[in-house]
Amino acid sequence: MKAKPKLNTTKLCHEACSFAERESKHNEPLLFGVTDGKAVGTYFEHKFKNDLSEKYDFIPGSSASGIDFPELNVDMKVTSIKQPQSSCPYKSARQKIYGLGYSLLVFVYEKTDNEKLKTGQLKILHSIFVEKEKTGDFQTTTGLCKIIQNNGNTDDIVAFLRERMLPVDDIEVEKLAKEIINNPPDTGYLTISNALQWRLQYRRIIEQAGKIKGISKIR
């Protein structure tokens, strides 16, 4: 039996485009009447991974790895256009500044039900790949860059981080401030809300996909 090719990021994005096109035309009885976004996302993710596994060799994500494609350092997110957001595990406050630590493959859908056929349909409006360097919080990263451009020092950065209510203690905030002076962050394009789990919001990446290097419009 011929060995399957290894999945890489380029192939993942290519397959994401093809899958989104097919799925947008598919009428699915299992989705009829389903309004729970988590259930819709689970359906889509499982179907896409099953599709990939028929063609490629890859290790699927687990609760230990925390992301869907650990070998590629990519996580998949499926969200409704009504409220394009999802949650992700909180690791540290640094994620808001330097990014999540992995790239994102984001599918944004619009769901409709066909009463006659008793099926649901997911029209994929946006398929976007966000490089890990662009997954920080927009307001936090742009604010920090402005402080540095204005010759700000560690005190200015500590004051800014405290105003942003970052979940860090005094020792950690001082360490972060020194690191930010020496290694200013890239501009992130997510909106990340503080919570026990980060709440990621995607409206800005939908607007900027294809316009900013590192945020690719797949479809």
Total residue length of the chain: 219
CA dist 187 → 29, 135, 163 (Å): 42, 8, 19
Co-location of 119 and 35 in the same domain: yes
Residue 54 lies in a domain: yes
pLDDT band at 92; cut points 50, 70, 90: confident
Residue 189 lies in a domain: no
CATH number at residue 67: 3.40.210
Total structural domains within the chain: 2
Co-location of 107 and 213 in the same domain: yes
Structural domain span for residue 46: 9-84+102-132+205-217
pLDDT band at 198; cut points 50, 70, 90: confident
Distance in angstroms between the alpha carbons of the first and the last residue of the chain: 33
| 157 against 219, higher pLDDT | 157
Residue-averaged pLDDT of the chain: 93
Co-location of 157 and 211 in the same domain: no
Sign of CA dihedral 131, 132, 137, 143: negative
Helices 9-24 and 37-55: crossing angle in degrees, nearest 10, is 120
Residue 96 lies in a domain: no
Task: Show contacts of 166-172: CB within 8 Å, 24+ apart.
Answer: 166/93, 166/96, 166/140, 166/194, 167/90, 167/93, 167/194, 168/93, 172/93
| 131 against 62, higher pLDDT | 131
What backbone torsions phi and psi does residue 11 show, to the nearest 5 degrees? -65, -40
pLDDT band at 140; cut points 50, 70, 90: very high
Residue 193 lies in a domain: no
Residue 197 lies in a domain: no
CA dist 77 → 27, 150, 193 (Å): 21, 36, 16
Residue 143 lies in a domain: yes
**Which are the contacts of 139, defined by CB distance < 8 A and separation ≥ 6?**
164, 191
How many whole angstroms separate alpha carbon 79 and alpha carbon 77?
6
What pLDDT, on a 0 to 100 scale, did the predictor assign at position 168?
Answer: 84
| DSSP classification of residue 67 | S
Q: pLDDT tens for residues 37-78?
A: 999 999 999 999 999 999 999 988 866 668 999 999 999 999
CA dist 85 → 1, 51, 172 (Å): 42, 25, 28
Co-location of 122 and 58 in the same domain: yes
3-state secondary structure of 95: helix
Q: Tell me: pLDDT of 21 over 70.
A: yes
The token pair at 122 is: 């997911």
Contact 86, 200 (CB under 8 A): yes
How many whole angstroms separate alpha carbon 218 and alpha carbon 127?
5
pLDDT band at 1; cut points 50, 70, 90: low
What pLDDT, on a 0 to 100 scale, did the predictor assign at position 132?
Answer: 96
Co-location of 30 and 111 in the same domain: yes
3-state secondary structure of 80: strand
Contact 122, 30 (CB under 8 A): no
Co-location of 70 and 22 in the same domain: yes
Residue 194 lies in a domain: no
Co-location of 13 and 113 in the same domain: yes
